[in-house]
Structure 1
Amino acid sequence: MLTQTTTRVLEPSELGAALAVLESEPVTNAFVTSRVQVAGLDPWRLGGEMWGWYTDGRLRSLCYSGANLVPICATPEAIRAFADRARRAGRRCSSIVGPAEPTARLWRLLEPSWGPARDVRPHQPLMVADRLPTDIEPDPYVRRIRKDEMDVIMPACVAMFTEEVGISPMAGDGGLLYQARVAELVGAGRSFARIDDGRVIFKAEIGAATPQACQIQGVWVDPEYRGRGLSETGMAAVLRYALADVAPVVSLYVNDYNTAARAAYRRVGFEETGAFMSVLF
């Protein structure tokens, strides 16, 4: 008996089926799940399309196609279907990001038409914590950023993004989209920093949040203050906020070559449970 498969853009009425797929891997899918829980599946509100791969009429895999292209619970057959659709549509995203194995498979299929990439990061350990460290005291000076402190936090955010991604977020539209995203996180109470004499010396955000899991991003220490353990005590403070106010499981992913950060996160109690991959354009 032949298996019938198809790929198409999900309708808003299919929200329940989409969430069932997303929530089957709550930590890995936290970024996309958080967006879908807020915006649903309407492309305008979601900021992109949600593609579905079906077998015998049942939704099995997803792919978010917006500013990022993100394979979700994607089987090898689904990856081939998503790659075909992405090739036909042409590249509209600034990155491909997701679990390492399916993302690598997707990139191999897209690279002949979409390449070359500006940067490929094939192994970014996914790290998870569900409790506070017992031997690191959270930095008492790390706190939530207030809405009237946007001018204080923005230079640190721009510095972090430029250092991490390799280009300034202020390029193109003058930084309007990036500033809006920072303001969104500040307004939601998910932007944290230590500010000494008006200067941000540590910062991080909870970039994605669902009732099951949240994801820390944008961890940055002022270069003049690095090597003093601020990333450990600062992360312990953000972890405390996250576990108390957001979700029972906290995750992040980090470049494999950033051995100092990986060691600091391990000391705070994060354990490596998988890997992501990023392709940057």
Structure 2
Amino acid sequence: MLTQTATRVLDPGDLDAALAILDREPVANAFVASRVHVAGLDPWRLGGEMWGWYEDGMLVSLCYAGANLVPICATPQAVRAFADRARRAGRRCSSIVGPAEPTALLWKHLEPHWGPAREVRAHQPLMVTDRLPTEAEPDPYVRRIRKDEMETIMPACVAMFTEEVGVSPLAGDGGLLYQARVAELVAAGRSFARIDEDGQVLFKAEIGAATPGACQIQGVWVAPEHRGKGLAAPGMAAVLRYALAEVSPVVSLYVNDFNEAARATYRRTGFQETGSFMSVLF
């Protein structure tokens, strides 16, 4: 047991303590918690290290250090310690993302060493619901993607990612990691779309993170030529119905503050803003 304030890389023996931290804020921590529930704390399976911050021998805060750097229930003192560790290790992540306040503080410490960022999205409303919408009927044509439909859904996923993040997920490794992630969600039954008779994806979304307490919808996308036709709200309602019935009792997502159309759609499907995330993109 650590008897002073310190950080260290957690190992599988720390799983229960780490889950207790993650369970403090199940909605905000859904992304990391979902990975820990599946992979534990082994870095190879988890896809990164889990750093722990201890005060008086007790685990107080976490930071996931993988493709994303994510502060979790992080106090200001913990953020400073995580920033020091990240600075010494050098930047290995493609983004810093998490609840706005600790993420902003983490970036403040790291920007002199890692900056400039490609883009900073300082306010991304976190939206939550625990019930089916009353204003939007679920689209009956939105369904699960089958494993044999990877070639159909993949171009839509790439288009969504490129539009949302500003870079193609096919860069670097040719898209192998991204394709594996899409295939993982399809295999888990958490990828949904409306596909017309010609095989064109009109709407798509995924339940990207899932824990017993909360899940997170991501990758919401409507084909550009079909925007403004009323597909988004019924599509979201359909995915929400699956999520509440089969995955978790609480469903969340976060959205760029400048995307007024998306925020209006999510409000129409019953989501309410309960907090704010921040993303720093490299």
Q: Give the shorter-chain TM-score range.
A: over 0.9
Distance (whole Å) between structure 2 residues aligned to residue 4 and residue 161 of structure 1: 43
Correspondence for 1:45: 45
Q: Deviation string for 1:6-47 (max 9, x for gaps)?
A: 111012101000000001100000000000011000111111
The amino acid of 1:103's aligned partner reads T
CA-to-partner distance for each residue in 1:181-226, whole Å, 9 max, x for gaps? 0000000000000000200000000000001000000000001110
Q: Describe how 1:50-89 pairs up with structure 2 within 5 A.
A: 50-89=50-89
The match for 2:266 is: 265
Query: How far apart, CA to CA, are the structure 2 residues paired with 1:134 and 1:35?
Result: 32
Partner of 1:278: 279
What's the offset of the Cα at 1:89? 0.3
1:19 alignment partner in structure 2: 19
Q: Which runs of 5+ in 2 are unaligned?
A: none
**2:101 equivalent in structure 1:** 101
Q: How many Å apart are 1:229 and its aligned residue?
A: 1.5
What secondary structure is seen at the aligned counterpart in 2 of 1:193? strand
- Cα deviations across residues 35-91 of structure 1 (Å, max 9, x unaligned)? 001100011111100000000100000000000000000000000000000000000
Paired residue secondary structure (1:7)? strand
Aligned to 2:5: 5
Separation (CA, whole Å) in 2 of partners of 1:133 and 1:41: 37
Superposition RMSD on alpha carbons, in Å?
0.7
Query: Which residue type is aligned with residue 265 of structure 1?
Result: Y
Offset of 1:4 from its aligned partner?
A: 2.7
CA distance in structure 1 between the partners assigned to 2:240 and 2:247 by the alignment? 10
- Paired AA for residue 155 in structure 1: P
Please tell me whether residue 243 in structure 1 is matched to residue 216 in structure 2: no
User: What is the TM-score when the length of structure 2 is the normalising length?
Assistant: 0.98
Identity of aligned residues (%): 83
Q: CA deviation at 1:136?
A: 1.3
Q: What TM-score comes out, normalization by structure 1 length? A: 0.98
* Distance in structure 2 (CA, Å) of the matches to 1:253 and 1:228: 23
For residue 181 of structure 2, give the secondary structure of its aligned residue in structure 1: helix
- Structure 1, unmatched stretches of 5+, are none
Q: SS of the residue aligned with 1:136?
A: coil
Separation in 2, partners of 1:170, 1:14: 35
For 1:253, the aligned partner's letter is Y
Does residue 159 (structure 1) correspond to residue 163 (structure 2)? The answer is: no
Alignment partner, residue 139 of structure 1? 139
The offset of 1:145, in angstroms, is 0.1
Amino acid at match of 1:173: D
Q: CA deviation at 1:247?
A: 0.3
Residue of structure 2 equivalent to 1:182: 182
- Secondary structure at the counterpart of residue 251 of structure 1: strand
